[in-house]
Amino acid sequence: MSDLSASPVIPVNTVTRLADYRVPEFLIEKTHLTFELYEEYTDVSSRLTITRNPKSTKADDLVLHGEQLELRSLAIGERTLHPGDYQITPHSLTVRNVPEQFVLHCTVRIYPEKNTALEGLYCSSGMYCTQCEAEGFRKITYYLDRPDVMSEFETVIIAREGAFSTMLSNGNCLSDTMQDGKRIVHWHDPFKKPSYLFALVAGNLVCLEDHFITQSGREVLLQIHTEAKDHDKCHFAMQSLKKAMHWDEQTYGREYDLDRFMIVAVDDFNMGAMENKGLNIFNTSCVLAHPASTTDAAFQRVEGVIAHEYFHNWSGNRVTCRDWFQLSLKEGLTVYRDSEFSADMNSRAVKRIEDVNLLRSVQFVEDAGPMAHPVRPDAYMEISNFYTVTIYEKGAEVVRMLANILGSERYRQATDLYFDRFDGQAVTCDDFVQCMEEVSGRDLSQFRLWYSQAGTPQLHISDSYDADHQQYSLTVHQHTPATPGQTEKKALHIPLKVALYGNQGALALIIDGQIRDAETVLDICQTQQTIVFEQVAEHPVPSLLRGFSAPVRVFYDYQLDQLQKLILLDSDGFCRWDAMQSLMRIVLSKAIDNKGDHAEQAMLMDTLRRLLTDHTAMDAALLARMLELPGEQYLASLYDKANPPAINQARTQLQHKLATQLQTELMSCYQALQNSASGLSAQAMAARNLRNQALMYLLQIDDTHYRDLAQQQFSQADNMTDQFAALRGLVHAEHARIEAQAALQVFYQQWQHEALVVNMWFQVQATRPWGNVLQEIQQLLQHAAFDARNPNKLRAVIAAFANQNFARFHDSSGNAYQFLAEQIADIDQRNPQMASRLLTPLTHWHQFIDEHASLMRKALESLSQRELSKDVYEVVSKSLNERNVG
Ligand code: TRP
Ligand code: ZN
């Protein structure tokens, strides 16, 4: 690693700490930018109105951020500065002894055409676009590129006449003129914002337009800009946007503020989408949708991401983050907001199940490994590495807990206070909690630990029933395992929502002589706590952590018949699913540990049979979820040291067994749903979901009848959900190779001109659980449609293989680990953010038995020998050396 620290460009050991936060020494009142776009380069001229920050004591030198910029001219007011007057490093520009107040003029040259990192200003299929969050603006011009410096932006875009049909920036368009063969477009954003929310787009795009009348009666112009070929795939996003705007008015009283709201679809994008003020930029995968070429799951993702970015206008833009340690202030809150929106638009229980599944199978794993960090981290090397499931999903759970603790009315009052009090400011997570505290009058000091303490709390719950005194008691013991840099953990404030089921349904609850609702929240605040329920006439079945009321792991020793009762009767859909997961988990762990599992299997089979037979009695989408076995990733996380082949084998065998024994029920369910409604109604989607789940099971059985069924569905489908489910079923069934080959070919022929569908074609092959997939992946990487510079393609092949093909990625040879490391080293040369994200599965080595763990570490070590970006370096070094930077 010595050659690494000697690397001149990468300051490998620079750690930024929350404890070192200082207010900015200067403020930038106004930012005026002029972009001259030429074929080979872009010149960016800035005019910054700078003042000393009255809140800062020391300020002699102005130090601006800047990376990969070619300085062409620099002046303070009328005075041109010369090389002796300033100092440039690879990361900064320093001007000595500047006045109290001045205008800085600066021109730099940048090369968007050569920008493969997709950060700053870059080109994506002929279109210019920007991605500035978190610290990309400094690749556009010298600036105070930190979120607590908020400025009013004006942007002028100049290009050769006819070069671009569309030239956009934030805010309102002031003018659009021609002069000397050049087109000049002038934009102004009246709202102060940090540089990370700046955006610019120039390209040949078409636009879908609509309008929205806000609650106060203002008309807002809505635009979605795409390449002409995608014009017909914007309607769903537009409808979603209008729903989101309406929902935010109804639910949070938040109205949109500018006269126009623009969305641009971009093919090359490191993440899902970006909430730039008035000009959201979207990965095509999160905005384009058409029934013929988009699955139901993708439709729901579009709806969710459109809402997410739109909601950021208040939770993120109007009220923003003081520093990047507060990232969850905007992300956690916005994810909570978008998940509630999706729950209101679709099935609430199913949305909750999806979120919990993600949390358990990915966030809990992150929180138990070398990359574990609190919702508000204390230190980072590269902030891009902290756009994690912990910041987003656990952060959202923390907001959800607050909302539940306060109750909906108080929560709304508290968010009103938060948005009003901090409008136009850059604030902290603590400011947010403070509002919750003030409105509710509750002491949330212990609750605040959720922001500072990493790791997933474990609740061990035991119970006892005293028939003589008619008392039932629950004893809850909480413990949070150590995480890197945090060995001592304190007891958290955990809202544990419970109900008790008796023979006639939920029981009335009496605690301390107080009558409560049948569903009640227990405030667990101590390491060990016993809650006594009075006047309990029978031994009840506890329904624990209802609605997943806190991001914790619950351990309670359920009897099989208790689980069955909850599965069949619990009024909380999430709990029904969760009880089913527990039952399946019990069966699977017996199999993994080679223990007899007859009683458990019989109970599982009986329960599934009842549900399937009576499938019309419940929400089909929920049933589809309940049929699904726990994922391998999640199963692995339940072990101290998981054995990947054993887990995969147990799961595959159980799936086969279920299919064989329930074939009649599955088949009649499939047939009963064959003539369900088409279209995108919740009911139609739910029916497809359940039917395709049934098909997936049936395809576990080696029988031409089911293969024919799948082939038929594949060729007759009038929507992508059914077509793709059939394709996936065939490709993933080892006995269907012949049919799969044919279907893959037809599918490619049919969809080769739709990039997003080609990605699905890549993905379905990369996730095939049998055979020498690694070899086929090598071939896919050579395929004409593959492009290693496009993040969606990398996700479809490499990330899909590493994250969604548990069986083959964890092949005992370790070849897949080595393959991933090599790919990362290569990708890192072009796109460090992508390379770093692809590393995640290797950082989970600690989950596995030594054979696998050491092979994974070996792959990480081989990477550490290479010259790495700061992004990849941080993840590699932390995962190899369990000690944290904190
Ligand atoms: N703020 C974006 C969101 O809504 C996240 C994001 C988009 C991002 N692009 C990025 C973060 C690039 C880091 C780098 O969640
Ligand atoms: Zn976000």
Residue 597, pLDDT score = 83
Helix (H) or strand (E) holding 107: strand 101-110
Is 883 a residue whose pLDDT tops 80?
A: no
Instruction: State the CB neighbour count (10 A cutoff) for residue 739.
Output: 22
Is 17 a residue whose pLDDT tops 70?
A: yes
Query: Three-state secondary structure along 704-742?
Result: HHHHHHHHHHHHHCCCHHHHHHHHHHHHHCHHHHHHHHH
Protein residue with least CA distance to atom 5, ligand 1: 274
Is 886 a residue whose pLDDT tops 80?
A: no
CATH of domain 557-633+648-701: 1.25.50.10
Per-residue model confidence as pLDDT tens digits over 83-93: 999 999 999 99
Residue 225 and residue 264 in contact, taking contact as beta carbons nearer than 8 Å: yes
Residue 830 and residue 846 in contact, taking contact as beta carbons nearer than 8 Å: no
What does the pLDDT average to over 796-823? 98
The reply to whether domains 27-282 and 557-633+648-701 share a CATH topology is: no
Of 121, 124, 131, the residue with max ligand 1 atoms within 8 A of its CB, to mutate for a pocket test, comes to 131
Index of the ligand 1 atom closest to the CA of residue 309? 4
Q: Classify each residue of 680-697 as buried b or exposed e, where b means 16 or more C-beta atoms within 10 Å of its C-beta.
A: beeebbbbbbbbbbbbbb
In this prediction, what percent of the chain has a pLDDT beyond 90?
97
Tokens (6 digits) for 676:
């369900």
| Spacing, Cα 331 to ligand 1 middle (Å) | 9
Tokens (6 digits) for 257:
């503020």
pLDDT band (50, 70, 90) for residue 596: confident
Residue 605 and residue 661 in contact, taking contact as beta carbons nearer than 8 Å: yes
Would residue 70 be called left, alpha or beta, if left means φ above 0 and alpha means ψ between -120 and 50 degrees? beta
Q: Which of 65, 60, 29, 59 is nearest to 47 (CA)?
A: 29
Q: Classify each residue of 315-340 as buried b or exposed e, where b means 16 or more C-beta atoms within 10 Å of its C-beta.
A: bbbbbbbbbbbbbbbbbbbbbbbbbb
Ligand with an atom nearest the CA of residue 266: 1
Is 884 a residue whose pLDDT tops 80?
A: no
**What Cα–Cα distance (Å) separates residue 162 from each residue in 157, 165, 180, 183, 324?**
13, 7, 12, 8, 40
What does the pLDDT average to over 505-522? 97
pLDDT band (50, 70, 90) for residue 4: very low
Per-residue model confidence as pLDDT tens digits over 536-575: 999 999 999 999 999 999 999 999 999 999 999 999 999 9
Index of the ligand 1 atom closest to the CA of residue 273? 7
pLDDT band (50, 70, 90) for residue 13: low
Q: Catalytic residue numbers? A: 309
Residue 882, pLDDT score = 56
| Spacing, Cα 410 to ligand 2 middle (Å) | 24
Index of the ligand 1 atom closest to the CA of residue 331? 15
Protein residue with least CA distance to atom 10, ligand 1: 271
| Spacing, Cα 333 to ligand 1 middle (Å) | 14
Per-residue model confidence as pLDDT tens digits over 399-441: 999 999 999 999 999 999 999 999 999 999 999 999 999 999 9
Instruction: State the CB neighbour count (10 A cutoff) for residue 804.
Output: 16
Euclidean distance between CA atoms 785 and 762, whole angstroms: 9
Residue 58, pLDDT score = 78
The structural architecture, per CATH, of the domain 319-452 is: Orthogonal Bundle (1.10)
Of 115, 387, 389, 836, the residue with max ligand 1 atoms within 8 A of its CB, to mutate for a pocket test, comes to 387
Ligand with an atom nearest the CA of residue 328: 2
What does the pLDDT average to over 383-390? 98
Pick one of 3.30.230.10, 2.60.40.1730, 3.40.50.2000, 2.30.29.30 as the CATH number of 27-282.
2.60.40.1730
Euclidean distance between CA atoms 117 and 111, whole angstroms: 12
In this prediction, what percent of the chain has a pLDDT beyond 70?
98
Protein residue with least CA distance to atom 4, ligand 1: 274
pLDDT band (50, 70, 90) for residue 881: confident
Of 266, 274, 312, 831, the residue with max ligand 1 atoms within 8 A of its CB, to mutate for a pocket test, comes to 274
What does the pLDDT average to over 106-116? 98
Index of the ligand 1 atom closest to the CA of residue 305? 4
Residue 635 and residue 642 in contact, taking contact as beta carbons nearer than 8 Å: yes
Residue 10, pLDDT score = 44
Ligand 1 proximal residues by C-beta, below 6 Å: 131, 133-134, 270-271, 273-275, 308-309, 312, 331, 384, 387
What does the pLDDT average to over 141-165? 98
Per-residue model confidence as pLDDT tens digits over 52-82: 999 998 778 999 999 999 999 999 999 999 9
- Residue 463: strand pairing partners: 474
Protein residue with least CA distance to atom 3, ligand 1: 274
| Spacing, Cα 277 to ligand 1 middle (Å) | 13
Of 119, 271, 309, 310, the residue with max ligand 1 atoms within 8 A of its CB, to mutate for a pocket test, comes to 271
The domain covering 458-556 belongs, at the CATH homologous superfamily level, to: Aminopeptidase N, middle-beta domain (2.60.40.1840)
Protein residue with least CA distance to atom 2, ligand 1: 274
- Residue 658: strand pairing partners: none
What does the pLDDT average to over 471-484? 97
| Spacing, Cα 333 to ligand 2 middle (Å) | 9
Domain boundary assignment for the chain = 27-282, 319-452, 458-556, 557-633+648-701
| Spacing, Cα 717 to ligand 1 middle (Å) | 35
Tokens (6 digits) for 79:
């005075």
User: For 296-301, which contacts have Cβ atoms below 8 Å and span 24 or more sequence positions?
Assistant: 296/680, 296/685, 296/688, 296/689, 296/721, 297/721, 298/720, 298/756, 299/236, 299/680, 299/685, 300/342, 300/346, 300/685
| Spacing, Cα 721 to ligand 1 middle (Å) | 28
